[in-house]
Amino acid sequence: MTTASTSAPIRVLIVDDHPMVRDGINGLLTRQDDMEAVGEASDGAEAVDKFRELAPDVTLMDVQMQGMGGVEAIEKIRGLSAEARILVLTTYPGDASAVRAIRAGASGYLLKNCVRGELIDAIRSVHAGRRVVCSDIAHALAEHALDTPLTEREIAILKLVAEGHQNKQIAWQLTLSVDTIKAQLKTIFEKLGVHDRTHAVTVATRRGYLDR
């Protein structure tokens, strides 16, 4: 259902590395009287260039893309304009991903499995200056609100664990001692509420720590 509007349409930049996703969103926006797709980008670097060129009202931003990812692109776009309205639209439901995006300057965070009406309403809300977070993400954020987040070093260690590296290899790659790696892993386990490396990787991936 379209919404009539006497004002200028909301100009939307679509950023996603999948052409079919961009086409689908473009088609959805075309059916709205108060919106228009003014451009597309397939990665973060192109998104920054397109934003600079087009100055859209709302930017729809994927998180996980080749090259420059969504969070870095959000930071750079917000550096260009503190008034930029950016709505994340992603397949990654983790609370850590959402926190990174929101801290970078995103106005909203939606999952791609949301119904079309939710996306359209979210674009209007973000354009109006409101924040939008889908219910699944809001629940995860509330659940982990008091948790101590993983540090950049802890995330780096977990990424190497996820790749199958043992403590000695991780220590060598990060120029740390094996004892330091062991101590860091103990802290990671405590923060994530797990007791082994495999479970730590599983939980960290689900929460979005390893999605970048």
Rounded distance, CA 169 to CA 157, Å? 10
Structure tokens at 81: 């304009």
Handedness of CA 189, 195, 198, 204 (dihedral sign): negative
Give the Cβ contact number of residue 186 at 10 Å.
10
Residue 4: inside a domain: no
Residue pair 121/87 in contact (Cβ under 8 Å)? The answer is no
CATH code at position 91: 3.40.50.2300
Buried b (16+ CB within 10 A) or exposed e, 43-79: bbbbbbebbeeeebbbbbbbbbbeeebbbbbbbbbbe
Q: What is the pTM of this model?
A: 0.76
Handedness of CA 61, 20, 56, 51 (dihedral sign): positive
Last residue of a domain, one of 93, 116, 143: 143
Which pLDDT tens digits describe the chain residue by residue (212 residues)? Answer: 444 445 799 999 999 999 999 999 999 999 999 999 999 999 999 999 999 999 999 999 998 888 898 999 999 999 999 999 999 998 877 888 888 899 899 999 998 887 788 999 999 999 999 999 988 888 888 878 778 889 999 999 999 999 999 999 999 999 999 999 999 999 999 999 999 999 999 999 888 888 65
pLDDT tens digits for range 71-127: 999 999 999 999 999 999 988 778 888 888 998 999 999 988 877 889 999 999 999
Residue 124: inside a domain: yes
pLDDT at 92: 77
Together in a domain, 79 and 182: no
Together in a domain, 120 and 16: yes
Tell me whether residue 115 is exposed, middle or buried, using C-beta atoms within 10 angstroms of its C-beta: 0 to 12, 13 to 18, 19 or more: exposed
pLDDT at 28: 94
pLDDT at 211: 66
Together in a domain, 33 and 103: yes
H-helix segments, 128-166:
135-143, 152-162
Q: How far is CA 56 from CA 50, 60, 166, in A?
A: 9, 10, 47
Domain that holds residue 52: 10-143
Split into its structural domains, the chain has a count of 2
Together in a domain, 103 and 79: yes
